[in-house]
Structure 1
């Protein structure tokens, strides 16, 4: 299982939200590229980038910060937030993003996800952001009645590279991930599943790893707060 440090971008800065609430943003850094270099220096193999403003606006809003990160590090980066058409997908892959995450588009335009996965094999992921198992879209602001596992199964034959499952109620709360729901999703599909939301300690990472079938975990606030030491966590997971 790999650990992906998260860099969430709002107004060009590194922030963390509490349960997706933009009004509760805590600023952790003014220089996203410097933060990316710090994570890369610790030995991470991937970075997870989110354009929070873009997720609400429906179009990229922190492009300068993302491009600065891409110029600063050689670590592969996956990016989500406001990516809802083929032109934007192609733009970011051309700029050096290794994997594009489609969340709202997976609900509102599933044909786009399938077409993108065919056109860019191994470079398209689906973001499943859920409250109580039901998918939320548009920066988590709009609730749906779509079951996260049902949506995941709908793309199982599409050729996507990964599913990123976020339990919104756990995100940024430092209360641990929803291990049971994430592991159940991983058992239900053959696509690699990455856990997100609430990963806040070494114990959380070990529990996710030992649950079986989960290929990765994303952590943000715990790394910024110092509750989780990135270098130590990477060594433990590799061991």
Structure 2
């Protein structure tokens, strides 16, 4: 669905200290931004923010960076943070292709990728956020033993992503083709997941862990 342009969204985002408009200036300085030494977790493609909002409320001892591209989406994330008086999340408007420009080595302790674009055509598969091209980029700034939590409803993407993780030196710590009927108890649903699970969609989920340098 095409989002209607919200011309007022960018000024509101720019006015908030929770939104980092020039995130490359924070490279190597994210702990200073959060004013503590807590772990920093990264959500790539945060949508309207249900997932990161619930995470932040449940884990006040963690910091979160929520990345997405469209102001029209991110303004909803900001409103959720403000409504819940959440201080441990920062919003970053960014094309995720440039994610490597934001962090120094060992700045990130976990990555969440939820229902990313499956890019089914062969010529587009390198755009997948779980492709080896991206996984190798993440390895430059994640700590050793960092986990990537990945959810999708696309079977081809899920199967091929397992190979991407293995090729990139990640071990698969957990894997299920039916998350909501599995023994995994820490799931938080995204807006997309809540809507389509009610219509019979199955969510696939894996945890890939990187242990080597």
Q: TM-score range by the shorter chain?
A: 0.3 to 0.5
Which is richer in strand? 1
Q: TM-score, structure 2 length as denominator?
A: 0.39
If the length of structure 1 is used for normalisation, what is the TM-score? 0.36
